[in-house]
A = this chain, B = another copy of it.
Amino acid sequence: MNWLNLSPLLTDLYELTMAQVYVEREMLAPATFSLFVRKLPRRRSFLLAAGLGPLLEALEKLRFSEEDLAYLESLKLFKPTFLDYLRQFRFTGEIWALPEGTVFFENEPVLEVTAPLPEAQLIETLAINLINVETAVATKAARCVLAARGRACVDFGARRTHGLEASLHAARASYVAGFTATSNVLAGKLFGIPVTGTMAHSFVESFPTEAEAFRAFAENFPERTVFLIDTYDTLRGAEVAAQVARELAARGIYVRGVRLDSGNVIELSREVRRLLDEAGLPEIKIFVSGGLDEEKIAEIVESGAPVEAFGVGTKMGVSADAPYLDLAYKLVEYDGRPRMKLSEGKLTYPGRKQVFRRRDVAGVFYEDELGLREEDLPGEPLLRCFMKEGRLLSRPPALSEIRQYAAEQLRYLPADIREGRRTPNPRISKKLAELRQRTEEALRRGN
């Protein structure tokens, strides 16, 4: 695919300085790092995992070029032996992770890496970054999909994501979460997501009249036309749209819909619907865009407004109310010994872990238990092994499969979690609680 900038220098300097110390001291024993969210953002009651696909792809391809090494050498920080280590570097570790599309909660590992300490350290920035952006956006998008109650949501985010690569993450993550299409052409090409779009205000303004603009577009795209009707005056625009649509219908061109992008869309959509119906055009759908998020979508849906699809852009594309996750990549085991942090408010759980998910008889999510990986607790173990010795264990699933799995996950979330009234925390297994206590005591004594 090659859409990610895979330079191994896209990392924090300290990953490299720490790795040099490890390599120098032959601290090459296996280390396990756990990637998890310490605390959900204020307005989130669940998260939808995404970003693993791009991460695994990046891990397989990570190599330092001679140009990279020359730059590192120029910093006068690194020793020739370490630069040689980087020259040979490839990721040889093991990755356990939640499959993309899995719903998860606080303190549950979304990913665990086991690799020789310097390797596991070197991939920190990469791992946090890719899981952070796609999970934050997939979660926001899932909230929009749930609010839309079966109406289509389309990704219009490209123009205000954080750079253009981010627009690809947003298109991918929102499709996983249940969006039906994207306006992002490259995302269509790379990921096979259906691409769609309507017209801009500038298009309407480029013609002497709205009617001429509408006709010109429909003649060029007889099967894909949605008229944007709010450039000058929405109701007048709807009248013009109805008139042109009837003309076109007489010529065998059927207009699909009209788009409202401003104003009170609940009221306007009702009036536009009435106008279109009175013009004998009940099949023309009303499409809404403009500053949408899950709250605005819920408001429109709950009002009963005759809106059939939503173009969701900026606020989803940057997850505007929660643009990042409190996602931490923490050492939990090194050389067979459990490790943890005791910093104020930032205690971690030591050891390699597993999440066991329980459902009720109807299949609805009931509770999670966070245990040690080797434990055999009731429930479905959620973390799966995706990579061993730096190699993928199987072909990555198609995006459509991930999307289907995510839909299943969302369907079996209890209503109180889906609606944000409850944020579950996993139970902690007895063995994990004991390990944590023993490790904490040893650290407080030892330091």
Contact = CB atoms under 8 A, between A and B. Distances in A.
Interface in A11-32: 11-18, 20-22, 24-25, 27, 31
A118 to B, nearest CB: 10
Given A167-B10, A346-B262, A121 B159 contact: no
Contacts of A128: 159-160
A13 B183 contact: yes
A208 interface: yes
Interface string A333-377: 010000111111110000000000000000000000000000000
Given A16-B185, A205-B339, A220 B169 contact: no
A194 to B, nearest CB: 10
Contacts of A240: 447
Interface in A289-320: 314-315, 318-320
A397 interface: no
A167 B323 CA distance: 14
13 contacts: A5-B165, A10-B168, A10-B186, A13-B196, A14-B203, A18-B202, A71-B185, A128-B159, A160-B327, A162-B166, A163-B165, A205-B341, A262-B346
Interface residues of A, number: 112
A4 B314 CA distance: 21
A92 B199 CA distance: 23
B132 A230 contact: no
A248 B130 CA distance: 39
Contacts of A341: 201, 205, 231-232
A3 interface: yes
Given A21-B216, A166-B166, A201-B343, 10 more contacts: A10-B186, A18-B200, A18-B217, A22-B206, A31-B202, A125-B158, A129-B161, A129-B167, A320-B324, A323-B323
